[in-house]
Amino acid sequence: MRIIVAKNYEELSTKAAHLIAGQLIMNPETRLGLATGATPIGTYKVLVKMYNDGLIDFKKIVSFNLDEYYGIDSENAQSYYYFMNKNLFEKVNIDKNNINIPNGMCEDIEKECNDYEAKIRGKGGIDLQLLGIGRNGHIGFNEPDLKFEAMTHLVDLDDDTIDANSRFFDSIDEVPKKAISMGIKTIMHSKKIVLIASGIDKADTVYDMIFGPINPNLPASALQLHKDVTVILDEDAARKIS
C-alpha cells in the first residue's frame, strides 16, 4: 500500500483526481470504478474542472459504480445514479451508454448481480477503482463479516452504515436497508485501487485497515493483499498512523 497524507480535504481531492486523470490520459478507454458518498465529491469537482480545462476526456471511458441502494429508482434524488449524474456524469462528456450502476429496481436480483459481474469481465475488468471507506471498515457496501470471496450481491446494510448515511436523508427511517454492491472479490480484481478517507471519525478504521489483521470483520483489510493500492488521507484520517 502507498499511503499519501494530504494537508486537508481539498488537497486529498486534488491528489485523488490527479491519479485518476493520469489513468485517463494514459488510457482514454479506461474502465473506471467509481464510488459515491461524501468523500469523493471533491475529487469529482477537480475532475470536472480538469475536463473543463481540456486536460482530460471522458468520451471513451466506461464507468462502473460500486453500489446502489435496493428499492430506489434512478430518478430518486437519493439514488447513487442521481448522485453520479449530479456530481460528475452530466458535467463531462461520458457516453451515457458507457455508464454502469447496479439497478436498484431490478426484479431478479441474482440475474442483475450476475449480469453486472459479466459486464465488468466482458469489458476487460476495472483498470482503476476509486473507494471510500465506512466507519465500520466497509468498502462498497461490503459490511463486516462478509466473506472476502463475495462478488456483486444484495447486502443487508449494517445499523452503523444506516446511521452514517442518515445524514443524506430527512430521517433515518428513510435510509434503505439493502443495497446491491460489488463484492470484495470484484473490487480486488481491479488493477489499481485508490482509497480516500477524510475526517477524524475514519482515523481508527484507517489504522486498522493498514496495520490490523486481515479479517472480514474489517472488509477494507483485504486491501493489504492487493498489489496496487494507493490510500490518500487528510491529516485527520491519518491521525493514528502518523
Q: What are phi and psi of 234, to 5 degrees?
A: -90, 175
22-30, 34-42, 111-119, 169-177 -> range binding ligand F6R (CB under 6 A) = 34-42
Q: Check residue 134 for interaction with ligand F6R (CB under 6 A).
A: yes
- Residue window 180-219: x/- pattern of binding to ligand F6R, with contact defined by CB under 6 A: ----------------------------------------
Q: Alpha-carbon distance 74 to 101, whole Å?
A: 9
Which position has the grid cell 455508464?
Answer: 99
Select the residue interacting with ligand F6R from 66, 157, 218, 231 (CB under 6 A): 66
Let me know if 143 is a catalytic residue.
yes
Up-side HSE of residue 160: CA atoms within 13 Å toward CB?
Answer: 11
Residue 221 CA to residue 214 CA, distance in Å, equals: 5
**Nearest residue (beta carbon) to ligand F6R:** 132
Instruction: For residue 39, state whether it binds ligand F6R (rule: CB under 6 A).
Output: yes
Residue 113 within binding range of ligand F6R, rule CB under 6 A: no
Per DSSP, the residues of 48-113 read HHHHHTTS---TT-EEEESEEETT--TTSTTSHHHHHHHHTGGGS---GGGEE---TT-S-HHHHH
The piece of 42-50, 130-138, 144-152, 211-219 that touches ligand F6R (CB under 6 A) is 130-138
Given a contact cutoff of 8 angstroms between Cβ atoms, the answer to whether 184 and 220 are in contact is: no
Given the residues 65, 67, 112, 142, the one annotated as active site:
67
Over the window 152 to 171, marking each residue x when it contacts ligand F6R by CB under 6 A and - when it does not, the resulting string is --------------------
Q: What is the DSSP string of 96-130?
A: GGGEE---TT-S-HHHHHHHHHHHHHHTT--SEEE
Considering only 138, 153, 189, 192, the residue that binds ligand F6R (CB under 6 A) is: 138
127 carries an active-site annotation = no
Catalytic residues: 67, 136, 138, 143
Contacting residues toward ligand F6R, per CB under 6 A: 35-39, 66-67, 132-134, 138-141
